[in-house]
């Protein structure tokens, strides 16, 4: 029992007493350190640069916890940064809440916390407040993480589906399906899984550059769960405008495509964690593309389609490689549980 306390999470680590305090001071604070968090108040006191904010939350339940290209910690920080980024804001602060199963290895927790700290620092987002709960073995699957973020809205940026017009172009900043196919291949143990790598990355630097240097961006969204298919269908549904994408123009990594074909998935429905879709005016599409391609996270950016007139109901259509047309449906949802 004596060493257990240092090796594994116990229920008492979530009890609000001595052990909770030790866990916070020895394992959490050193990896995330910043002055606001170190105060350990009930709430973080936060001074922001604007009264116009973005606010977003996500819980992460990804399985496995560690994957090629990332881990649940990196994913939790990037995912929340990305939700703030595509809403047209600059992320400034984040909360971190952990639900950990009794018996979880503290070594793994440390690895995850290190990854969280590194990703947050690299993106200049402070983790300013947090919470840790423990549950019995079997009551959670290892660890679940919630991050909730605050961003400061960029001045003069007005993004919204109501801005979208027929003729607008659709840009994606790189290959699609990488994250989802990496996770599912690791879970299913397929042969070439080592050649797959999640695209998990924080997009705020690139989106802020785009919004500051161009004026034609109408709307952005990150195609996570449900992939490009879900995101484009949501945009079509809420804007009332149809969307046409061209299969030949959509960047897909060869190994990702092979894995999707082998396992029977449509890459359009597969989750991404380092991609955004931008709907931009046709005049500014080339400029946007250029800025993307000059950024490490946009080297393979492409214009993949456009907004078209709606006939009856707003639809998403794919022009296939051989020139046919097929409807891209909203995925039902069961494709990939616990992908993020």
Of residues 308-327, those binding its own copies (CB under 8 A) = none
Cβ neighbourhood burial of 104 (10 Å; 0-12, 13-18, 19+): buried
Q: How far is CA 92 from the centre of its chain?
A: 16
Task: Look at the chain and count its residues.
Answer: 340
Minimum gap (Å) between residue 109 Cβ and its own copies: 15
Minimum gap (Å) between residue 108 Cβ and its own copies: 17
CB closer to its own copies out of 174 and 331: 331
Distance CA 101, CA 155 (A): 43
Number of shown-chain residues binding its own copies (CB under 8 A): 83
- Beta-bridge partners for 172: 277, 302
Minimum gap (Å) between residue 337 Cβ and its own copies: 4
- Footprint of its own copies on 199-238 (CB under 8 A): 221-222, 224-226, 230, 238
CB closer to its own copies out of 14 and 69: 14
Select from 38, 50, 261, 294 the one that contacts its own copies (CB under 8 A): 50
- Footprint of its own copies on 138-177 (CB under 8 A): 138-141, 144, 146, 148-151, 153
What is the per-residue burial (b if ≥16 Cβ within 10 Å, else e) of 15-43? Answer: eeeebbeebeeebbbebbebebbeeeeee
Minimum gap (Å) between residue 53 Cβ and its own copies: 5
Select from 34, 68, 97, 282 the one that contacts its own copies (CB under 8 A): 97
Continuous segment of H or E residues that includes residue 131: strand 126-135
Measured from the Cβ of residue 251, the count of other Cβ atoms closer than 10 Å reads: 17
Select from 131, 249, 261, 283 the one that contacts its own copies (CB under 8 A): 131
- Does 96 participate in binding its own copies (rule CB under 8 A)? yes
Q: Are 170 and 306 in contact (CB under 8 A)?
A: yes
- Footprint of its own copies on 252-271 (CB under 8 A): 269, 271
């Amino acid at each position: 029992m004596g060493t257990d306390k240092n090796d594994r999470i116990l229920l008492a680590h979530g009890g609000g007493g001595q052990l909770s305090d030790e866990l916070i001071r020895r394992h959490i604070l050193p990896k995330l350190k910043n002055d606001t968090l170190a105060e350990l108040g009930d709430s973080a006191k936060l001074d922001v640069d604007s009264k116009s904010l973005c606010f977003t939350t996500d819980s992460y339940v990804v399985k496995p916890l560690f994957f090629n290209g990332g881990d649940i910690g990196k994913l939790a920080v990037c995912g929340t940064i990305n939700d703030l980024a595509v809403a047209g804001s600059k992320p400034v602060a984040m909360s971190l809440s952990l639900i950990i199963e009794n018996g979880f290895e503290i070594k793994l927790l440390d690895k995850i916390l290190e990854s969280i700290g590194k990703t947050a620092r690299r993106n200049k987002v402070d983790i300013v407040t947090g919470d840790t709960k423990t549950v019995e073995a079997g009551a959670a699957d290892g660890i679940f993480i919630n991050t909730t973020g605050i961003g400061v809205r960029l001045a003069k940026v007005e993004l919204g589906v109501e801005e979208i017009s027929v003729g607008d172009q659709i840009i994606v900043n790189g290959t699609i399906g990488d994250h989802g196919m990496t996770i599912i291949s690791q879970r299913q143990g397929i042969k070439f899984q080592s050649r797959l790598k999640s695209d998990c990355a924080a997009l705020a630097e690139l989106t802020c550059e785009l919004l500051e240097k161009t004026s034609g961006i109408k709307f952005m969204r990150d195609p996570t769960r449900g992939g490009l298919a879900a995101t484009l269908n949501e945009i079509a549904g809420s804007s009332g405008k149809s969307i046409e994408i061209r299969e030949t123009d959509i960047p897909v990594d060869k190994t990702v495509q092979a894995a999707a074909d082998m396992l029977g998935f449509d890459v359009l429905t597969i989750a991404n964690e380092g991609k955004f879709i931008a709907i931009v005016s046709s005049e500014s599409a080339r400029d946007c593309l250029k800025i993307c391609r000059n950024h490490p996270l946009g080297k393979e950016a492409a214009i993949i389609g456009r907004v078209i007139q709606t006939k009856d109901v707003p639809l998403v259509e794919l022009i296939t490689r051989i020139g046919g047309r097929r409807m891209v449906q909203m995925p039902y949802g069961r494709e990939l549980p616990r992908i993020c």
